[in-house]
Structure 1
Amino acid sequence: MKTYFISALVCLMSVMSWGQVEEGYEDTLKKMFEVSGTEAAYQSTIKQMVGMYKSQKSDVPADAWDSLEKEFLAMSLNDLTKMLVPVYSKHLTKNDLEELIAFYQTEVGTKFANSTPAIMQESMQVGQQWGMELGKRFNEKMSEQGY
């Protein structure tokens, strides 16, 4: 009975601690998003969404759009950060995030953060070309083998 009780207690403690995140993790993640350029990318996405809606609803006054954009920029980024905490905390500790922040605050880290959007855009184009070429070669090999 005593062994059963101890086993149950250990299991309960494991379940209770599972899913808990280090204190300050969310704020640290938010700071990492800020210095890495991730926050700016999210803001750009929100602004693009507002622009898309703006083009669909031309009867809405400009000040209403400005107000909505400000509200969603503030609210959505906080919501997204909260939603991403479980994802990031599964893979990175608070200390890992702090080290990333330190990196992004260096000269090379800042350069990397500022260059990342252009690198990603250019990489996507290269990746598409690579994928098309790979598909072409794959089909050629399949044909050579009679398939």
Structure 2
Amino acid sequence: MKRFLITLFLCGLLTSGFSQSISKMDNIKNLLELTGSGKLGVQVGENMIISFKKSYPNVPVEFWDNFLKEMNSDTLINLIIPIYDKYYTESEIKQLAEFYQSSLGKKLISIMPLVLQESMQAGQTWGKEIGEKVYNNLKEKGFVEKD
């Protein structure tokens, strides 16, 4: 009788933990869909294909089209879910989802691609300026031959 109760108790714990885990995974998937993470990832992939097309103009369009067909947001979301599961509690996931459903959260989602794009451009400009400054300093100190 004691074994039966212990077994029943353990099964209850496992079932409870499993259902919470499923619930958390569903909440994470919902959060990623709210934020458009999968769509953004696919957009990045599409931009990579456009870049490859320019680099390899002799490759037939069908080749690139086949790659585009393979890219879907569900695949990316399924890869990201375990990462969110690792770093966020279920409560935090729910709070994030609530935020992204607010007016400020919706604004953040809508303008984030623009913010990221402009930030990358600013970072490239900054990096170029630093690179030029370092190179000019190296030339002045005699570590690099002057032109």
TM-score range (shorter-chain normalised) is 0.5 to 0.7
State the shift of 1:30 in Å. 1.5
1:61-95 Cα distance to aligned partner (Å, 9 max, x none): xxxx9xx95xx57xx33332222222222222222
Q: How far apart, CA to CA, are the structure 2 residues paired with 1:48 and 1:57?
A: 17
**Corresponding position: 1:78 with 2:74:** yes
- 5+ residue gaps, structure 2: 1-17, 54-59
Paired position in structure 2 for 1:143: 139
Amino acid at match of 1:28: N
1:96-123 Cα distance to aligned partner (Å, 9 max, x none): 2211111111111100100011111111
Amino acid at match of 2:98: A
Q: How far apart, CA to CA, are the structure 2 residues paired with 1:140 and 1:48?
A: 34
State, as a whole percentage, how many aligned pairs show the same letter. Answer: 27
State the shift of 1:22 in Å. 3.0
**Corresponding position: 1:57 with 2:62:** yes
TM-score, structure 1 normalization: 0.61
Paired position in structure 1 for 2:33: 34
| Structure 1 runs (4+) greater than 4 angstroms displaced | 45-52
Amino acid at match of 2:35: S
1:22-77 Cα distance to aligned partner (Å, 9 max, x none): 3323221211112113233134356668987xx7129x9xxxx9xx95xx57xx33
State the shift of 1:137 in Å. 1.4
Assess if the C-alpha contact under 8 Å between 1:25 and 1:85 holds in 2.
no
Q: How far apart, CA to CA, are the structure 2 residues paired with 1:83 and 1:102?
A: 23
Q: How far apart, CA to CA, are the structure 2 residues paired with 1:121 and 1:50?
A: 18
Which range moved further: 105-114 or 136-145? 136-145
Secondary structure of residue in 2 paired with 1:84: helix
Which one scores higher on RCO, CA 8 angstroms, separation ≥ 6? Answer: 1
Amino acid at match of 2:61: Q
Q: How far apart, CA to CA, are the structure 2 residues paired with 1:22 and 1:111?
A: 30
Paired position in structure 2 for 1:25: 24
Aligned length: 115
- 5+ residue gaps, structure 1: 1-19
